[in-house]
Structure 1
Amino acid sequence: MKLRNLPPLALAAAVGVALTACSPSEPEPEESAPESASPSAPPTSEAAPAAVLPTGEPQVLATGLDVPWSVAFLGETALISSRDDGDVLELLPDGGTRVIGTVDGVVHDGESGLLGLAVDDQGRLYAYSTGEDGNRIERYGFTGEPGSLALGTGETLLEGIPAASYHDGGRIAIGPDGMLYAATGDAGNPDDAQDLDSLGGKILRMTLDGAVPEDNPFAGSLVYSYGHRNPQGIAWAADGTMFAAEFGQNTWDELNIVEPGGNYGWPEVEGIAEEGDFIDPVQQWSPEEASPSGIAVVEGTVFIANLRGEVLRAVPVADPGTATEYYAGEFGRIRAVTASPGGDLWFTTSNTDGRGDPSGDDDRLVGVEVG
């Protein structure tokens, strides 16, 4: 199979792939409509795109990655963050990678390090990482062309986000409104999630220069929503609906629809609580079958990367209380998922992060057609 807008099939030979774990036929998904799903999903537009699902056989696009955490695109060039060493990698046409720069002062301890990446329409890179004084968001320009890219000088847009060896959040994305959103964890201090004066346990919204937008729900504050434990996935449907995936503690992981000013309950509640002060998730799973990290919306489907669950989960935007699972156990832990410029689905494994069981070519970047 040749992926649209991907390196040619010669790539498979270059990186030694056609996945032996994959069936030559289309994957057999496990369909599920969990009892925990919200009984009343919010209505969506009649013009919403149809749901799409993976088709054909996945192809490994790169191997030997060191704890890849995020994938972003500068034009058609993929950029990958390496959590532990702070490197930003450029994916080359032959499946190799090269370091284009290292984010200064990255502190790796447990789950912390260089986490989310995003690129704006002016070709600037945004990076969420852990420094000596907490998590921060920085912006970089580029020099050179694809194949010889380099990071320019960085500038700090936001610092002082609570950090710890776990619960650092870390996903960033530019929304359809042109604003920069950041998912932050509670950094092991659950009460911060309910404290509007803390940046921990929140989804933040800011201008591309790091300023507070005038239409944020809390005047003078970057806080867009709160009551989050450790969200690591944010994405938008075509109608502007914002989805977020979140790690629970011991009971429920969550898929939420994010509303401005919304309180999602942590640490007062976990999962669907049906308490009027908090917004319930539209779907929930036990942590051992999920542990959701990155998410992406492609057409009418929310794709969710799952770590402990070791599956790629597909949730219809029009019916977000249901899900279909793909590749159970075939790739191990899955950390990030994104749509490529050509419309294919790309995802990264996370088997070298100290919690997985890496194979000889882990970690990997994998691509598959959807339709």
Structure 2
Amino acid sequence: MGGHMKVRWCWAAVTVTALVLTAAQPAGAAVATAAKKLDVPWGLSFLPDKSALVTERSGRILSIKGTTVTQVGKVAVEPGSESGLLGIAVSPNYNTDKYVYVYHSTDEDNRISRMKLGGTPEPLVTGIPLASVQVGGRLAFGPDGFLYASTGDATNGDDAQDTKTLGGKILRMTKDGKPAPGNPFGNLVYSYGHRNVQGFAWDGQKRMYASELGQQDLDELNRIESGKNYGWPECEGPCSNPKYTKPLLTWPTDQASPSGVAIYKNSIYVAALRGERMWKVPLNANGSVGKPTAVFKGTYGRLRTAVAGPDGKLWITTTNRDGNGGTVRKDDDKVFRTDG
């Protein structure tokens, strides 16, 4: 990795100088706790009745209806520093097929499975590289009806540049786990050159945005497009080589370490782990972004997930019990709702 450090450091200096970072609390935002005393809530999705499903990294799937929390599923996992039961996505046809999809760690790989609540997971995609860190884990159905998943490089940066592997990628697939029609490389791979994507979302124009955890210099917010190479491990942050796609925004890693992403009220919300805040990034009509503002800075600690809920609220999970440096607060970990 020593050969890459010089490139990343030069670009980090330019980017940080150019980007003015501000911090503020959300003005007049109403906040309500939906669930508390959870065990590292990670993934969050919604059923057609607008109730929430949340995963705990240790393997439970919980239902949140109002403030009533009930266990509705269990997945056997091998939890590690960042691994375990991670993302969850509800089928767009849930009323007829009753499927939910989960991203989870076994003792040999990370995999994507589907299941009916209370049932046994059916593996669809296996062999996603396993490690204790850098394992991605986000799942969501896109506006095209296909399932998207983010994977980490599992500490092997070479995988990120190899379009024949599943590590360091964003994947796009059918509801049966097969490559989606039109995928750029004829397999599951949609975009590559990623170190560790833990969040993505789409705007009203069906444009996809994703967060990217950097190594030690810069974290990223990227616009994701089919077949594009996002540069890892050749560069962290903007790359001088034009074959790599440059990020829309970068942050120093101590101000972000980004995870979940939501698009809510014309802004991109990026949940920050090490930064212990939510970054609110104005989203312009043409897909460009404005200057980010930090909200909830230090209020709730490490933030893992952000999802725009069917109730018109922004749903957020904390992750202070994940063993990665957070200070556990009263009633952690929480799921809370806010209007901005």
Question: TM (normalized to structure 1)?
Answer: 0.81
CA apart distance, 1:280: 0.5
1:79 correspondence with 2:65:
no
Please name the residue that 2:70 is paired with. 98
1:297 corresponds to which of 258, 263, 268: 263
Q: Secondary structure at the match of 1:136?
A: strand
2:62 corresponds to which of 89, 111, 136: 89
Please name the residue that 2:92 is paired with. 121
State the distance in 1 between where 2:130 and 2:27 align: 36
| Superposition map of 1:236-251 within 5 A | 236-251=202-217
| Superposition map of 1:125-136 within 5 A | 125-136=100-111
1:160 corresponds to which of 114, 127, 149: 127
State the distance in 2 between where 1:115 and 1:314 align: 24
Q: Secondary structure at the match of 1:211?
A: coil
Number of equivalenced pairs: 312
| Superposition map of 1:1-371 within 5 A | 35-36=17-18, 55-75=28-48, 76-83=50-57, 85-93=58-66, 95-104=67-76, 106-123=77-94, 124-142=99-117, 151-219=118-186, 221-318=187-284, 319-354=288-323, 355-370=325-340
State the distance in 1 between where 2:224 and 2:19 align: 16
Q: Where do 5+ consecutive residues of structure 1 fail to align?
A: 1-32, 39-52, 143-150
Check whether the contact 1:37–1:321 (CA below 8 A) recurs between aligned residues.
no
Q: Where do 5+ consecutive residues of structure 2 fail to align?
A: 1-14, 21-25
Taking structure 1 as reference, are residues 240 and 37 closer, same or farther at Cα in structure 2, changes over 3 Å only?
Answer: farther
Q: Secondary structure at the match of 1:294?
A: strand
State the distance in 2 between where 1:320 and 1:122 align: 33
Question: TM (normalized to structure 2)?
Answer: 0.88
Taking structure 1 as reference, are residues 126 and 54 closer, same or farther at Cα in structure 2, changes over 3 Å only?
Answer: farther
Q: Secondary structure at the match of 1:170?
A: coil
CA apart distance, 1:199: 0.3
Deviations 1:324-363 (A, max 9, x none): 1101101001000111111111101111111211012101
CA apart distance, 1:68: 0.5
State the distance in 1 between where 2:139 and 2:280 align: 21
Decide which structure has greater helix share. Answer: 2
Deviations 1:154-175 (A, max 9, x none): 2111000001000000001100
State the distance in 1 between where 2:127 and 2:28 align: 43
CA apart distance, 1:316: 1.6
CA apart distance, 1:54: 7.0
State the distance in 2 between where 1:57 and 1:362 align: 19
Q: Secondary structure at the match of 2:30?
A: strand
Q: Which runs of 4+ in 1 moved over 4 A?
A: 33-38
CA apart distance, 1:96: 3.6
State the distance in 2 between where 1:222 and 1:368 align: 35
State the distance in 2 between where 1:252 and 1:218 align: 28
Deviations 1:136-169 (A, max 9, x none): 0001124xxxxxxxx2332111000001000000
Q: Which amino acid aligns with 2:266?
A: G
Taking structure 1 as reference, are residues 206 and 101 closer, same or farther at Cα in structure 2, changes over 3 Å only?
Answer: same
State the Cα RMSD in Å: 1.7
